[in-house]
Copies of this chain bind each other. A is one copy, B any other.
Amino acid sequence: NSYRIASIPGDGIGLEVVSATIQVIEKLAKTLGTFDITFEHIPWGTEYYKQTGRYVSEDYLDSIRQYDAVLFGAVGSPDVPDHISLWGLLLALRGPLQLYANVRPVRTFPGTKCPLNTATNGIDWMLVRENSEGEYAGQGGRSHVGQQWEAATEVAVFTRVGIERIMRFAFETARSRPRKLLTVVTKSNSMRNGMVLWDEVAASVARDFPDVKWDKMLVDAMTVRMVAKPQSIDTVVGTNLHMDILSDLAAALAGSIGVAPSSNLDPTRKSPSIFEPVHGSAFDIIGKGVANPVATFWSAAEMLVWIGEKDAAAQLMGCVERVCAAGILTPDLGGSSDTQGVVDAVCLEVEKL
């Protein structure tokens, strides 16, 4: 068990949180002695773009396929339009590598406080986002540019294959959790095509999972349920855009987007999966050394689970939780520690393992 990980810090605080995480994981591997891990730095991002005119190398898909997994930081820069940077790097990986399952565990973490007084025991949800098509299919265009009658389209494309595979994945995820509860989110009252197909596929896949209790919700009503009845929710699946929105909301409701991890998985394991914090490049705090590394630690733990080091992942999360519970937190969580302070504290916990 020796793993080669590609590290793509990207832009902004991506560099800070990925470097923080590599320190911690290397310390973990050394301390446990049960696996080997090496990180190879890949410089894709806005600097790379300014030098080469591309966010990634020409053979980027092949070169990324050599790795066991990818640890990703963030992409986005104030001097490049977001749709250029995001499609140049992050969205150029998710879709083309067919990382169709974006998994986002959300829970009230030690050191964070759930801002909802409807959730007395905090929040513990598992969000599954379709990650390869739908509203992110990339189709659409603009015509009559600049004319008064200019029209622009955004075309969401849903396929039966695409829906079926994420639905099976979601039902399996729900089945693996104690409550075996799945909510399928759509918007099939106003969207008559792809959303109705989602409903149909959900009903048909559900037949293979009689032990999973499932229900359907409209995306707007789902936000109400998340606020008013958080305890009624366990696993949730929805489209690329719907879950983009609901997962940010969920992280905020649980306590902080600063700790929220995400996994871009290819469940067929043909491509390496990508693990990244949910927060973005946060240019307002770059270079101040105060970026919260916890979301990236947690993402790396998810990566360890995925590559087969479940035990090491659990150990790591234990250390991170103890550090957060002890109040060693970055300013976004109300603490007074800097990034390196959190790294050092976690490394100290790791040494005790």
Contact = CB atoms under 8 A, between A and B. Distances in A.
A150 B204 CA distance: 15
A160 B136 CA distance: 22
Nearest to A227: B252
Contacts of A226: 252
Interface in A216-250: 219-221, 223-224, 226-228, 241, 244-245, 247-249
Contact of A245 (B153, B220, B227): B220
Nearest to A76: B189
A69 interface: no
A220 B248 CA distance: 6
A81 B193 CA distance: 13
A142 interface: yes
A65 B221 CA distance: 31
Interface in A173-193: 187-193
Contacts of A158: 151-154
A141 interface: yes
B161 A157 contact: no
A336 interface: no
Given A141-B193, A153-B194, A193-B141, A248 B228 contact: no
Contacts of A197: 142, 150, 152
Interface stretch (A19-27, A112-120, A284-292): A112-120
Contacts of A248: 220-221, 223-224
A148 interface: yes
A257 interface: yes
Contact of A228 (B115, B138, B160): B115
Contacts of A31: none
Which 5 residue pairs of A and B lie closest in terms of their CB atoms, listed nearest first?
A: A82-B189, A223-B249, A227-B252, A150-B160, A220-B248
